[in-house]
Structure 1
Amino acid sequence: MSIEDRSLVETETARGVSSHEEAVRWLKERRIQDVECIVPDQAGVARGKMMPTEKFAAGPSITMPTSIFTQTISGDYPEEDDNFKHDPSDSDLIFDPDYSTLAVVPWASDPAAQLIHDARYRDGRPVDHAPRQVLRRIVDLYRHRGLKPVVAPEIEFYLVKPNTDPDYPLEPPIGRSGRPEIGRQSFSIAAVNEFEDVFDDIYAYGEAQGLEIDTLIHEEGAAQMEINLLHGDPIDLADQVFLFKRTIREAALRHNMYATFMAKPMSNEPGSAMHIHHSLVEIETGRNIFSTQDGTPSKEFFSFIAGQQKYLPHVMAILAPYVNSYRRLERWTTAPINVYWGYDNRTVGLRVPHSPPASRRVENRVPSSDANPYLALAASLACGYLGIEGELSPDEPIDGSARELPYGLPRGLLEAVALFEECDELVGLFGKSFVHTYRAIKQAEYETFMRVISPWEREYLLLNV
C-alpha cells in the first residue's frame, strides 16, 4: 500500500484508547490484520511478537523470556559474576499493553498496528531493569516532590548509501540532483530538498502514528539531519523517539538508503547527538519552577544544572552506550567534551537557551543519538534530581568557547561503566538490578568489540612493529 494511496487504516491514530475492549473495536473498525506487540530492550531495539488481530482480541498479555532484557546489541549474553546473575530457568515475563501507544504501522504491506508493552513478573511486580520502567521510576521521584518533568529531544541521524559489507566505510547517498553531498551544508534548505521524497514519507509515516515533528533541519555533516520533537511528558517523548527511529529507517529503506543513528558513522564527519531540553513544572499550578515569580532563575534551576555537572560523567555509559559513541566526543567539534554550562553557548555540555521565564530550560548536549531514549532521559533527569535534592550549586557559566578546556567526560566505555556502578547515589536511584545488568551487558559488548581487528591496526602495526 503506497503513501500516495493511504486509506483510513493509515491515517487515523488510536488517541483516547484506554482499554482492551476499545482497542479491539479500533482494530476491527480499521480492518487491522496483525498487531505488533513490542517492547524496547536495553539497546532501545524493538523486541516482541506479531499476532493476528483475532488472537490479540482473545487476550491482551503476551509472554517472553526474562533474557530479553539481558541481550547485548550483538545478540549475545553477558557472563555471570558476583553481582549479575541470569535467571537459571529463563522463565517468562508478562508483557501488558499500554493502549495509549496503539498506532498503525504505515509501512506494512498489509494493515497492521503496533502497541508498546510494559514488563512485569507473574506476581505483578514491574521488571525494574526494563528501560521503560527505569524511566517511570525516575519520573515518579519528581512526582513525589509535586513536580512534572517536561522534555524535548532533538535527534540527529545520517542518510547513507546501502552498506552490506561492514568492512567498507559508509558513504553519503545520492540525492535527487544525482550527486552526493560535499562540504558542509548546515541549515541548507536546498540540501534538505535533495531528499524531499524521503522526508515526505517520514512526515506521512509520523502523522499516521500520531508522532509530532516540531522542525526538521540539515545538520553539519553530509546528509546529516536533525528532527526536533515537541516538548512533553518524558515517557511519551521516549516512546516517540523509539518509534521515530524505526519510522526514519523504514522511510529511508523505501528510497534505497539507510538511516543510521550511530554516534560517529563516518570518520571525517561530525557525530550525531540526541540533545535533551528539560524544564520542571509544578503539578498543581503548571508553573515552571526554573523561574521565580519575578522571572529570575530559581534556586532549583541552578541546582538542576549543578546535579547534571556532577553526575553526567557517571551516567555516560547510558548517554554514550557503545565504543563508537566516544569517537564523537572530539575536541574542536560540535560535540561537548565537558560539563561546563553557559547561556546560549553551544560549546558547553549544558546550554541554557534564551527564552522567556515561563519557558526557561536546560539543554543537555552530551547524549549521542545511539542512546536508548528511555534510559537517556532517565539518566539526564536523575542527575538533575540529585542536584535539587542535594541543593547543589553550579560553576560560573562559561562566556566564550569551552572547547579548549579540559576533558570532563570519560574517554571510553569501560571507564564510563565503572563510574556508573561505583556511584552510590545513582545506584540508589536506578536500583542494583538495573545497574548490574546494564554494566554486565556493556562489558560483554566491549569484549565482543575487542575481538575485531581494525584497519588502523593493519595500517600501522602490520609491518612496523
Structure 2
Amino acid sequence: MTPDWLEQTPKAAQDYVANRRLDEIECIVADIAGVARGKAMPASKFARQEKFFLPNSIFLQTITGEWADNPSGAFTEPDMILTPDYQTTTAAPWTADFTLQVIHDAYDQQGQPVPVAPRNVLKRVVGLFEAQGWRPIVAPEMEFFLVARNTDPNQPIIPPMGRSGRRAAAKQAYSLSAVDEYGKVIDDIYDFAEAQGFEIDGILQEGGAGQIEINLAHGDPVRLADEIFFFKRLIREAALRHDCYATFMAKPIEGEPGSAMHIHHSVVDLQTGQNIFSDDKGREAAPFLHFIAGMQAHLPAAIALLAPYVNSYRRYVPDFAAPINLEWGRDNRTTGIRVPISGPEARRVENRLAGMDCNPYLGIAASLACGYLGLTEARDPRPECLGDAYISEDELPLTLGDALDLMSESKPMREVLGDEFINVYESVKRNEYKEFLQVISPWEREHLLLNV
C-alpha cells in the first residue's frame, strides 16, 4: 500500500519505489555552505510524522565544522521546525537500500520562516518579484572537475586517469573524445539524474583537464536551486564509483581555468506570461536594460555570496575564462554580464561571475536581487562593451574580506536579503577567513623562509 504522503511526491520518486520496499528517508536542509544537514530515519517513522526538529545553530557552522559567533547574542540553539516539501522528494539511487531524499523548509516555533535558511532567502527574493507582478526564470550552468583521488591535502590536485590510461588533458574544450575518457562517470550521472527525475539540457567538455559543464533547462529559481543542491551530491557519488573525485571548488588545479555557475535570467509578467525584457514588437524593452543596470550597480555587494571562499578569488584571473568586470555585451564572453543570442521570447541576461562553489540558493538569490533592484530603481546601464572586456579596470572585490565589507555596508542588499541573514552570513565567513589566514602556505615557506 502506498503511504499517503508518497502520493504528493513527483512521479519519478513514485516510480523509483514502485513494487519495492522503501527503507529510509533522508530529511535534509541546506546550510550556509550548501551542505546537506538533517537526519535519516526509517520510512515507516517518516510516514507517522509531519515535522521534525533541528537546532538553528546549523546555520552558524562553518565549512570547517567550527561555530561562528551568533550576531543576535546568546548561543542557546533553539529548535527549528522542519516541514517536508514533498515536491522535492527524489531518489538516492547510489545507496544500498531504497532511499528517498526530501528537502525541508525551516520555520521557527512561531511558524515564521527562519530568515537565515538559504532556501528561505531565495523564496524571499522570488516573493519580491511576485509582489511586483513578475515571475523570475533562471537557467544555471554547472562546471566542475573530475580529479584523481586526493587523500593528502598537502598534495596538489591532479587530473583523473582516463580509459586510455592517460590523465585527462587540458585545452580540449567541446571535445567529445575528452568526454569519452571518463564516459562511465557520465553514464552514471545520466542514470542517477533519470532516476531522480532531473532533466539535463546538455553535457560538454570545458577547457580544463577533466572539467565538465552540465546545463539545466530554464525554470523556477527555487526548483532549479533544489536540483543543483541534489546534483552536487549525485555527481560526487557517480565519481566515487569510478575511483575519482568530483569537485566544485572554484579553482582546484593550479594553472587551469576555474569552475563557474553561470546563471541566465529572464522575467515574465504573471498575468500575460510574456517576457518583460521584450516589447510587443520583439525589441529590447526598458526593463531589460534596467535589469542589466541593477547588476552593474549591485553585483560588487553580492560577490561575497557568489564567491564565498578564499579559493573563489583565485578564479578571478584575467584571460582565464573568468570575467572580472561589470561590463555587458551581446554575445560577448569576456563581459561579466552577457546577453546570449536568442529570440524575443527567450531574451535573457547571463551573470558569468558566480562560482560553482557558491550555495546555489544564495548564488541565485543574490544574482536575482541585483536584477530586482535594477528593475525597481529603473536606472540605465553603461554603454555596451563591444570589444575585449578582459582589459577593463577591476571593479570587483578581489579578496573575501573586501567582498564581505561591501556586502555588509550595502543597504539595498540588506533590504532585499534581510538584515539577520546578512549578519549571520558575514559572521560565518569572517570565521572561515580568519581560520584561513592562520595557515602558512607552501609558497610562503618556499620563497620567504630563507630569502627575507
1:371 equivalent among 347, 355, 358: 358
Q: Which residue of 1 aligns with 2:245?
A: 258
* SS at structure 2 position matched to 1:95: strand
Would you say the 8 A contact 2:325–2:396 is kept in 1?
Answer: yes
* SS at structure 2 position matched to 1:377: helix
* SS at structure 2 position matched to 1:342: strand
Deviation at residue 17 of structure 1 after TM alignment: 4.4
Q: 1:202/1:15 Cα in 2 relative to 1: closer, same or farther (>3 Å)?
A: farther
1:276 and 1:28 map into 2 onto residues whose CA distance is 36
Q: Does 2:30 align with 1:43? A: no
**Which runs of structure 2 are paired with 1:69-108 in the superposition (5 Å)?**
69-80=59-70, 84-108=71-95
Q: Which residue of 2 aligns with 1:66?
A: 56
Would you say the 8 A contact 1:27–1:53 is kept in 2?
Answer: no
Q: Which residue of 2 aligns with 1:152?
A: 139
2:6 and 2:385 map into 1 onto residues whose CA distance is 45
1:455 and 1:42 map into 2 onto residues whose CA distance is 29
Q: 1:202/1:149 Cα in 2 relative to 1: closer, same or farther (>3 Å)?
A: same
Deviation at residue 400 of structure 1 after TM alignment: 1.4
1:403 and 1:24 map into 2 onto residues whose CA distance is 49
Q: Does 2:177 align with 1:187? A: no
**Which runs of structure 2 are paired with 1:248-287 in the superposition (5 Å)?**
248-287=235-274
Would you say the 8 A contact 2:105–2:119 is kept in 1?
Answer: yes
* SS at structure 2 position matched to 1:240: helix
Q: Which residue of 2 aligns with 1:455?
A: 442
Q: 1:19/1:110 Cα in 2 relative to 1: closer, same or farther (>3 Å)?
A: closer
Q: Which residue of 1 aligns with 2:339?
A: 352
Q: 1:344/1:405 Cα in 2 relative to 1: closer, same or farther (>3 Å)?
A: same
- TM (normalized to structure 2)? 0.96
1:331 equivalent among 318, 321, 326: 318
Deviation at residue 28 of structure 1 after TM alignment: 8.1
Would you say the 8 A contact 1:67–1:86 is kept in 2?
Answer: no
Would you say the 8 A contact 1:337–1:409 is kept in 2?
Answer: yes
Deviation at residue 19 of structure 1 after TM alignment: 7.5
Q: 1:25/1:309 Cα in 2 relative to 1: closer, same or farther (>3 Å)?
A: closer
* SS at structure 2 position matched to 1:157: strand
Amino acid at match of 1:208: A
Q: Does 2:388 align with 1:412? A: no
**Which runs of structure 2 are paired with 1:11-26 in the superposition (5 Å)?**
17-18=7-8
Q: Does 2:190 align with 1:203? A: yes
2:275 and 2:230 map into 1 onto residues whose CA distance is 28
Q: Does 2:420 align with 1:433? A: yes
Q: 1:19/1:330 Cα in 2 relative to 1: closer, same or farther (>3 Å)?
A: closer
Q: Which residue of 2 aligns with 1:213?
A: 200
**Which runs of structure 2 are paired with 1:115-134 in the superposition (5 Å)?**
115-134=102-121
1:56 and 1:398 map into 2 onto residues whose CA distance is 55
Amino acid at match of 1:234: P
1:371 and 1:17 map into 2 onto residues whose CA distance is 33
Q: 1:28/1:349 Cα in 2 relative to 1: closer, same or farther (>3 Å)?
A: same
Amino acid at match of 2:345: A
2:227 and 2:262 map into 1 onto residues whose CA distance is 15
2:160 equivalent among 161, 170, 173: 173
Q: Which residue of 2 aligns with 1:398?
A: 385
Amino acid at match of 1:55: K
Q: Does 2:44 align with 1:54? A: yes
Q: Which residue of 1 aligns with 2:211?
A: 224
1:273 and 1:24 map into 2 onto residues whose CA distance is 33
After superposition, the C-alpha distances for 1:50-76 in whole angstroms (9 at most, x for unaligned) are 000111011031111110111110011
After superposition, the C-alpha distances for 1:185-243 in whole angstroms (9 at most, x for unaligned) are 00000000111110000000011111110000000000000000000000000000000
Deviation at residue 174 of structure 1 after TM alignment: 0.5
* SS at structure 2 position matched to 1:346: coil
The sequence identity of aligned pairs, in percent, is: 52
Q: Which runs of 5+ in 2 are unaligned?
A: none
After superposition, the C-alpha distances for 1:326-374 in whole angstroms (9 at most, x for unaligned) are 0000011100111100000000100001111111000000000000000
Amino acid at match of 2:139: A
Deviation at residue 440 of structure 1 after TM alignment: 0.5
2:184 and 2:261 map into 1 onto residues whose CA distance is 24
Amino acid at match of 2:195: A
Deviation at residue 88 of structure 1 after TM alignment: 2.9
Deviation at residue 25 of structure 1 after TM alignment: 12
Amino acid at match of 2:381: P
After superposition, the C-alpha distances for 1:374-428 in whole angstroms (9 at most, x for unaligned) are 0000000000000010001001111110111111110100100010010001101
1:24 and 1:450 map into 2 onto residues whose CA distance is 48
Deviation at residue 87 of structure 1 after TM alignment: 4.6
Q: 1:227/1:25 Cα in 2 relative to 1: closer, same or farther (>3 Å)?
A: closer
Q: Does 2:20 align with 1:30? A: yes
Would you say the 8 A contact 2:16–2:91 is kept in 1?
Answer: no
1:308 equivalent among 285, 295, 300: 295
Q: Which residue of 2 aligns with 1:293?
A: 280
1:25 and 1:260 map into 2 onto residues whose CA distance is 30
- TM (normalized to structure 1)? 0.94
1:174 and 1:15 map into 2 onto residues whose CA distance is 44
- RMSD in angstroms over aligned alpha carbons? 1.8
Deviation at residue 26 of structure 1 after TM alignment: 9.0
Amino acid at match of 1:405: S
1:262 and 1:25 map into 2 onto residues whose CA distance is 34
